[in-house]
Chains A and B, each alone.
Chain A
């Protein structure tokens, strides 16, 4: 019998719920996030069913408000933001840098408990009757008028924020201090650069959301506050503070996805990532510039034209580092020895969908067009191309890529490819029609609409059916693989990263011998003789 790995080291519940092993905590997050993903998805499904016809036939307007709010809050704070960092990041970061664990393992466990507490409080708000403010909690509706569980939901998000901060803190310190000997910054796999940039945003943006939610809670509780127009307060100040967090939060949601794509594209092209340093610094550039563009959510609020012009300009600027990445991935593919394994299908889908999402983001950065498209389905389609087409696709890509490492099992390549293709088709059918709807003027957040919009809505709802089924597929074939899949070798993709140089699944202590890094990452070769980063 071989030595026990991290999964077989102990079987008690206690060994799971009090573990400080980053790999087990990643699994705890994975299970929780899967649950939240399907809860948020259920709300979206109900909305798409309602929108199949122009009249209201499934839910009332009030219930519809609660559905899209629940969908937004759950998906943003309880799936997208923690998705890649807390599952794949938690698992892979210490392995990639050749460390035994994150810098603060107990803090890591505490962060999961805080996350679950925040999630439970939010779920309670939903079960108790829901929230009707939209995920944005705009004032004065959220503070003075809404008769729903705003306080409870805001408390849930506030609590979950601490989990974000602690995770970001842990990653920053870990990447600074726990790298293996020889692993210089420019030898780090790009996944780590992007997670580092993500963590900087988590640490610097989340507290602003926290204080903003405190201000909301004070105003709701005491009936008077900063955003109260009756005493000369400015509801727009709330929007400034909220988007100062929430726009960088968009980059929290996409940067880790970009990081995963680097790993996938280079592995399945058998080539180094083209322009490593540009891609690395592009992550940090996105993190920095992302803090300076929040006003593009407020072009129609009456903010000064000068401010709008500056925010519009900055929004164009922040697209540059994103474009650098897309061009560099394309250049990596160029003359590569391409393999179309399931993770690569997700990566290619990501590049296409992210490009559409990014380019339509530039439409919205244009003042004149944005005035036309504000609060229409064009915006909904745009950010779903980034969040779902981009981040969720990257999440699935990364999950498949590292699945053999995490579980020690191989999944069915046939079903994995089928799911990847179905997700791509279902996604486009769901969201592309929404661009058309938005351009034609259909506003978001309504459950009834004029009959001329029905064709596009039916297409979108039909696509959502395919998408929902496709998202359920991995649950089955990945679940099957855990119990019946073939045993995975240590390095099934012949990849050079440190995480592939230990057994699958890794032992509890990660590496039998401390790896010493002697090479830059991504030393792939066409003949399946990648040179490991350590000697």
Chain B
């Protein structure tokens, strides 16, 4: 696979450039960890304060869709990892195909998320827009759903950005494979896996509380 001809003057070689780019992505992921960290802190504070409310809220979530989405996202991460592993000039079609598969799964995730939001709207569980839940647990349930919507919306935004990046890379890798593209693919894959890991945390925190009791 050809090195791209010109290396920006601050780098000594193509590999120097590519390793630097990857470090940049790791630092960016560190930023993202703290972004979601602030949100998770709020979750734990209120789950501690309103344990019953959070369990009740959790049991109103769509666990089938949530579980399906977890499987979808893990599969897409697998496809991306596969694409990174095999990417070379000879396998560029397969690489693009794998990335397209990951993109489709990502879109399926967003679609299912939309259906899930719609069902919650029908059940009057959207704080600030239409929230009707009475009883002593109403506050805890409402705080739970505030977390649910903010966290999943921010996660979905990350997914959409990731899908866009994967789409660009699928086109680029297919058109002109190079070591530089491989480095870019590597960095975007890191980002995609990170978004995946965030979802695994969200899945456990949103869908699972209280499920084992009955």
Known: A234-B45, A241-B42. A100 touches B31 (CB 8 A): no
Label chain B's interface by main secondary structure. helix
Does the CB pair A232–B35 fall under 8 Å? no
17 further A-B contacts with Cβ under 8 Å, apart from A170-B24, A211-B38, A224-B128, are A100-B9, A101-B9, A169-B27, A173-B20, A173-B23, A203-B31, A210-B35, A211-B35, A215-B42, A223-B128, A224-B127, A231-B139, A231-B142, A233-B46, A237-B42, A241-B38, A244-B38
Does the CB pair A208–B34 fall under 8 Å? yes
Contact code string A87-116 (vs B, CB < 8 Å = 1, else 0): 000000010000111111101000000000
Nearest B residue to A232, CB-CB: B139
Give the residues in chain B near A448, CB-CB below 8 Å: none
Known: A178-B10, A222-B129, A237-B42. A208 touches B24 (CB 8 A): no
Does the CB pair B46–A226 fall under 8 Å? yes
Task: Give me the interface of B with A, judged by CB distance under 8 Å.
Answer: 8-11, 16, 19-20, 23-24, 27-28, 30-32, 34-39, 41-42, 45-46, 49-50, 127-129, 131, 138-140, 142-143, 146-147, 150, 154
Contact code string A225-249 (vs B, CB < 8 Å = 1, else 0): 1100001111001001100100000
Contact code string A61-88 (vs B, CB < 8 Å = 1, else 0): 0000000000000000000000000000
Query: Of the candidates A102, A107, A211, which one forms a contact with B39 in the assembled complex, judged by CB atoms under 8 Å apart?
Result: A211
Query: Of the candidates B19, B42, B49, B139, which one forms a contact with A177 in the assembled complex, judged by CB atoms under 8 Å apart?
Result: B19
Contact code string A209-224 (vs B, CB < 8 Å = 1, else 0): 0111011001001111
Does the CB pair B20–A103 fall under 8 Å? yes
Give the residues in chain B near A224, CB-CB below 8 Å: 127-128, 131, 142, 146
A172 at the interface (CB under 8 A from B): yes
Nearest B residue to A227, CB-CB: B42
Give the residues in chain A near B146, CB-CB below 8 Å: 218, 224-226
Known: A100-B9, A208-B38. A226 touches B23 (CB 8 A): no
Within 8 A of B (CB), among A141-179: 165, 168-170, 172-173, 176-178
Give the residues in chain B near A107, CB-CB below 8 Å: 24
Q: How far is the CB of A330 from chain B (nearest CB, A)?
A: 35
Give the residues in chain A near B50, CB-CB below 8 Å: 232
Contact code string A172-212 (vs B, CB < 8 Å = 1, else 0): 11001110000000000000000000000001111110111
* Residue among B8, B11, B27 with max Cβ neighbours from chain A (10 Å): B27
Nearest B residue to A508, CB-CB: B9
Does the CB pair A105–B143 fall under 8 Å? no
Q: How far is the CB of A198 from chain B (nearest CB, A)?
A: 14
